[in-house]
Structure 1
Amino acid sequence: MNRRKMKEDERPQKKQVVIVAMTSQLLLDITGPADVFTTADKCLQALGTAHGYDVMIVAPTADKKVISETGLAFSCKLCAMDIHTPIDTLVIAGNDYWEGNETVFEPFYTWLSGINEKNTRRITSVCAGAFSLAKVGLLDGRKATTHWNLSEQLKKHYPRIDVDANAFFIHDGPIYTSAGVSSGIDLALALVEEDFGKDIAIKVARHLVYYLSRPGFQAQFGSLLPLYENSNIGQKLQHWLSDHLQEPVDVGKIAAHFNMSVRNLTRVLQKQTGMPPAKFIEKLRVEKARKLLENTDLSLERIAEQSGLGNLISMRRVFLRHLMTTPSDYRRAFRTSLNTPEIKELLPIKSWDSFN
């Protein structure tokens, strides 16, 4: 009996991955990391190793039910509060913190506050899951990321966090945070590589038809200028400047249009948008240029002229500063897929002009 027990104890243990499926979120927040770890386990089994991952999806509420934004509802075998054994990798997949129903999640937050380096090797989040980690203090004094559209909220509500809105994922000690949606796949692949090496991670990435290391930064996906209220001078300035970006535009001309002094315009714009006029105008020019790159066949030189960025060299420099990519690389990544010759050949439509 003792010999049998010893042999069982010596069996290689799989790494326990617990994914907390926060409700009302995109399914990919949950299924992306789950598919990566599950596929990695299958790859390892095919190589004849008993090591791998044991993936468990749990609910954050005692009723063990999860409802996604798509309306798909499913039940988990366990809720997070049922887990009292050590965890290798904890994944907080999404968050519906803005729903105002925090009372429902209080038992979960109490459980999460007990998670630490002693009982969990790695603590991770996908997208808005960073807000759950922040709420219980796990991100205090650390560098973290979240979806680009939520980064300002994370900074505002949790000033003790060093928020980086550009990275797809960030590693700070035992804490790993990832950006929006598909970035959870990026992070999960990085964790597989960390655990079992690059070869296994590449096998998983190929199986999922995904990059092992996705090129780019979050800045390429989000808008450089947020939506402002109608009363905000930023909104008024965007509306007026959209018809004048091809022209030489200086602060004096703008101030004159709004019947303001240059000093007062600068003060008000800085207060309401957090930017001086020159920076605001430059970001608006980049926004126009990226739209032209996405939706037209105009040459790069012509786009630089129409957006008021001068010439190709100047536009390239500005794109690298704001989007961390070149105009040509941006066009390849974000050009409408319905306008490529390959798609046109596969999907013959009488008039493709209607899509432009």
Structure 2
Amino acid sequence: MLETLKPQAEDKIIRLMAQFREDPRDGKIDLGVGVYKDATGLTPVMRAVRAAGAELQASETTKTYTALAGDSQFHAVMRDLILGDAVPASRVAAAATPGGTGALRIACDLIRKARPGARVLMSDPTWPNHPAIAQDLGLVPATYRYFDEASGTVDFAGMKADLSAISADDIVLLHGCCHNPTGANLTPAEWDELVALLKAKGATVLVDIAYQGFGDGLEEDAYGVRALAKALPELLIAASCSKNFGVYRERVGILLALVPEGTETALVQANLAALNRLNYSFPPDHGARLVQTILTSETLTADWKAELEEVRLSMLGLREQLASELRRLTNSDHFDFVARHRGMFSRLGLSPEQVERLRVEFGVYMVGDSRINIAGLNTESVPKLAAAIAAVL
């Protein structure tokens, strides 16, 4: 049987990580993998996470299973973090999942059960796992215009034109904030316009929000998803705690399902629990319990928010430094969009040949489409990167 399996495509980022590790050069720069790093190159354990871990270690009395959909208090604190008071809690079903990827998988599984073979429209470009998960579950990936390579901005006119042609049977996948891989985000006014369009079309929306707090702030980054929740009869939200809580290896995610008024929330909740059961039985709890501990403590929440703001501002500072250096070295404002982008990523608009030259000649590692992880930089490596980019233009 096993000999009939087909070879799988190698993950480009995993390959890039291996190349970086094998490169003996001092001063090499890793801008590929999507993990936050501080100025020393480490992914730190946040202060509140460490404190919550100590508290949990002292107070936890059992390692028995939680519910199939995870702990209801975790659902509640995550619902409040993401949706605020946009909708009544009674309209939201939820399931804890292994990371944001697990939430996306359960979301697509739920779509498959409700609408087999549905078309799922995704931004062009999008995170490669989006179409891969959808296709693996028998859904049909499609795209809508999103990014203008020349200007490094959102092609909002193209986006609206493409989404104006969808039907009520379609699923539209949106990035909640800090678009991956481009870093180009919708403004609040554009969100309002998009919400009105999607409400008129009647399609179901799935939001992937993996970077809340990394862009313009916790509340500001939730603007789009909350506007959608207020306006649409139903909504699916896949969220991750990997970035904003720094609990990457704990695999903490959640799927929220906003249920139409008049529909039994319990029906949707039971389906989410059943899907969890089929995929991995009970979801992991330790990381979710850490997040829950933080968000139910005023002291820990305040410290977490303060450190998250430090992280956000450090990335904005690196963006502004890189844009300034590129402006100086190229005598052009072409790369000013880097300072306007938000989150961990920006797509620079370099060719694959230029990206390869950066790796071979300068030890700068980025994904082939020229997506860079801003958090892979520090104040000393920014000038080196800018000089290398200027050299290959």
Q: Same fold (TM over 0.5)?
A: no
Rg: which structure is higher? 1
TM-score if structure 1 supplies the norm length?
Answer: 0.30
